Structure 1
Amino acid sequence: MTITHFSFPTPIQFGAGARRNVGPHLQKLGLKRPLIVTDKALAALPLLAEFLGHLQGLEVAVFSGVVGNPTCSQVMAGADAYREHQAEGVIGLGGGAALDVAKVVGVAATHEGNILEYVWDHPQVRPIVNALPYFVAVPTTSGTGSEVGRSSVVSEDDTHLKRVVFSPKILAQVVFADPELTFGLPPHITAATGMDALTHNIESYLSPAYHPLCDGIALEGTRIAAAALLTAVREPHNLQARSDMMMASMMGAIAFQKDLGAVHACAHALGAVCDLHHGLANALMIDTVLAWNQAAVPAKFDELAHVCQVAGGGPAFVPWLRQLKQELGIATGLAAHGVKPEHLPRLVEIACADICHQTNPRPCTAVDFEALFRAAM
């Protein structure tokens, strides 16, 4: 595979070996002291040591304080590490959590106050006014597509509620998308992140917002993910399948500027209350929510079935999703993942407050959310 260069709008270097271009790219710009922001688990793997080998000639520091779902305190600790290293730029290396933290470490390092004061719905939201450090993103999973997103989702440390910093200023200057970096992912992580990418594309397409450009991207992203995900799980070193999933992940993140839906509102609640992995939470809810949505937009379900080559048209699409989850080894039912009936009131409360369901194809009330969570148990 050759490395392809394109922009949409972020400049992207895509292909096997793209990670080797990070060091030369920074050196060409005269940036010698980058801070790598990554997660604790990845920092212990040979992947990080191999990546550092491609950064010869640079004075590199590593912040590996990202653990689980990203939090505001992790961002602030990363900003401290940035200042201590007297860094000149940030390299985000990892999955969605590490990249979400990496995108706003530079904001916290160059601005006053806590990163929570920069979330879009803060009552006295602070503007991002100072120049931000040079930021490049190197994804190691194919799920969130955070590397091409203009938002960072971080949780409050005390309430675990997800908050969003949104600004085109936090977009990566360059993305180095190397599918070889996903070869070492365990099957269950490949499955969960892959379902995240698929959910982004599907929910973006189903959103009633008017954005034909995103509709086209979302449908093609759905087609690519549907064809590649099972192979990526079963054949982890299949370069074509891994490449397709990395592309579908980026396409989903580009498409969901059109907005998402009730699957994500439920997933965000499950992350806050039960600390579920975001991709897994989407996977656990998607068939239940889509079965409820189908009557509202049957023609769109026909189109989804068509691009996924599902025989039987729209009515067969949700059963196909359930079968895919089974083949991916994702245990069905929220109860199998530690969700209990006593969690329901808080889950419903958070889902109702989540902005994502405002662009669900079918209006969703608290009663509806409770019914959806119960149906998914």
Structure 2
Amino acid sequence: MTITNFSFPTPIKFGAGARKLVAKHLIEAGCKRPLIVTDRALGALPVLTEFVSHLDGLDVAVFTGVFGNPTCSQVMDGAAAYKAHQADCVIGFGGGAALDVAKVVGVAATHEGDILEYVWDHPQMRPITHELPYFIALPTTSGTGSEVGRSSVVSENDTHLKRVVFSAKILAKTVFADPELTVGLPSHVTAATGMDALTHNIESYLSPAYHPLCDGIALEGTRIAAAALLTAVQNPGDLKARSDMMMASMMGAIAFQKDLGAVHSCAHALGAVCDLHHGLANALMIDTVLAWNMESAPEKFDELAHVCKVPGGGAAFVPWLKQLKQSIGITGGLAAHGVKPEHFPRLIEIATADICHQTNPRPCTAADFDALFKAAL
């Protein structure tokens, strides 16, 4: 095992086999009774059983109540499981949904009220005042980068609107980024999550907000993902490609503290109204939105084309993205994935209200979102 250790700001143990270091780490931190928070599908797969086999010396419980786009009720159920196990720490194990739930299970388990009362824009937002359970994260996909984020995105149970708990207090104490955990992903999941990582890097770079630190990370994250995604999809056992995508995913999540853009506003609406996977929703919208954005940031499109080694400069970048999507199996428009014209009024309403497009390189109105959804149909 060759493990690289670095902090940005979260301590990260990066490399094949990092998962095998978890038990020693938790025991040294004084933890004895972890609750693993994961999703329903992973809970039935050998990858979880294999991980648990390395947790000698710990009394482990597993909560597998995460499924689909994560909801507030899943967080509260996880908190109940934490209390029932008398746990003293949380292990987030999974993709973005499981990690987003895992990050705030400890909040719900140690604080009063519903987790919705802790979202950043609640009119009477409750503060996180108590010490939170020790939390570590192990990503099993390379997409959201949630393992290094200080926000948890969970949906309202009834409206499916995404809400955000934002606090440095919910950052993982340590991330164990082990690309071997992603080797068994189906190709369509690798493709959708990979496009999520690529979108994070691209949109954060295109944001007009001033943050040169994030710009540098976003450009390098874009370069890495552009070079590795096709290989990761076509040759799932290629550990270098898997490692590169895991790194690009984390870089995208670090970079988007600069903010995102209209692709994400559209994706958030598609997740709420049509329950589309977030990475897939980004992939279905990115070329349409970027083609519309290009006139507002032509120099940045030139730079994106440069780092992705796209011949023809910025004008060729969106066609290259379309071809990449085809190559990794993401085909068809919104209609091919269940979106119908009758969904448009609600999609437009949610996208317009979404905060992400406030840092899009080109201002967006409801009429613009109407045109973008129609163009992507």
In 1, Cα distance between equivalents of 2:331 and 2:101: 29
In 1, Cα distance between equivalents of 2:57 and 2:47: 19
**Residue in 2 that maps onto 1:84:** 84
In 2, Cα distance between equivalents of 1:273 and 1:291: 24
**Residue in 2 that maps onto 1:180:** 180
**Residue in 2 that maps onto 1:343:** 343
Which residue identity lines up with residue 79 of structure 1 in the other structure?
A: A
**Residue in 1 that maps onto 2:275:** 275
Alpha-carbon distance, 1:304 to partner: 0.1
Aligned counterparts, 1:164-313, within 5 A:
164-313=164-313
**Residue in 2 that maps onto 1:321:** 321
**Residue in 2 that maps onto 1:31:** 31
Which residue identity lines up with residue 137 of structure 2 in the other structure?
A: A
**Residue in 1 that maps onto 2:74:** 74
CA offsets 1:165-211 (integer angstroms, 9 cap, x no match): 00000000000000000000000000000000000000000000000
**Residue in 2 that maps onto 1:57:** 57
Residue 148 of structure 2 is aligned to residue 148 of structure 1: yes
In 1, Cα distance between equivalents of 2:180 and 2:168: 28
- Structure 1: runs of 5 or more not aligned: none
In 1, Cα distance between equivalents of 2:325 and 2:374: 19
**Residue in 2 that maps onto 1:363:** 363
**Residue in 2 that maps onto 1:21:** 21
**Residue in 1 that maps onto 2:104:** 104
In 1, Cα distance between equivalents of 2:42 and 2:214: 32
Secondary structure class of the residue paired with 1:23: helix
Alpha-carbon distance, 1:332 to partner: 2.2
In 2, Cα distance between equivalents of 1:78 and 1:145: 21
Which residue identity lines up with residue 371 of structure 1 in the other structure?
A: A
CA offsets 1:70-125 (integer angstroms, 9 cap, x no match): 00000000000001111000000000000000000000000000000000000000
Secondary structure class of the residue paired with 1:193: helix
Secondary structure class of the residue paired with 2:138: strand
In 2, Cα distance between equivalents of 1:52 and 1:263: 37
TM-score, normalisation: structure 2: 1.00
In 2, Cα distance between equivalents of 1:136 and 1:349: 37
Which residue identity lines up with residue 370 of structure 2 in the other structure?
A: E
CA offsets 1:255-293 (integer angstroms, 9 cap, x no match): 000000000000000000000000000000000000000
Output the aligned Cα RMSD: 0.5
Secondary structure class of the residue paired with 1:41: helix
Alpha-carbon distance, 1:41 to partner: 0.2
TM-score, normalisation: structure 1: 1.00
Alpha-carbon distance, 1:2 to partner: 1.1
Secondary structure class of the residue paired with 1:55: coil
In 2, Cα distance between equivalents of 1:30 and 1:11: 18
CA offsets 1:202-244 (integer angstroms, 9 cap, x no match): 0000000000000000000000000000000000000000000
CA offsets 1:304-351 (integer angstroms, 9 cap, x no match): 000000000000000000000000110220000000000000000000
Q: How many residues align?
A: 377
**Residue in 2 that maps onto 1:6:** 6
Which residue identity lines up with residue 355 of structure 1 in the other structure?
A: I
In 2, Cα distance between equivalents of 1:23 and 1:53: 10
In 2, Cα distance between equivalents of 1:330 and 1:296: 27
Which residue identity lines up with residue 231 of structure 1 in the other structure?
A: T
- Structure 2: runs of 5 or more not aligned: none
In 2, Cα distance between equivalents of 1:128 and 1:364: 34
Which residue identity lines up with residue 283 of structure 2 in the other structure?
A: A
Which residue identity lines up with residue 241 of structure 2 in the other structure?
A: A
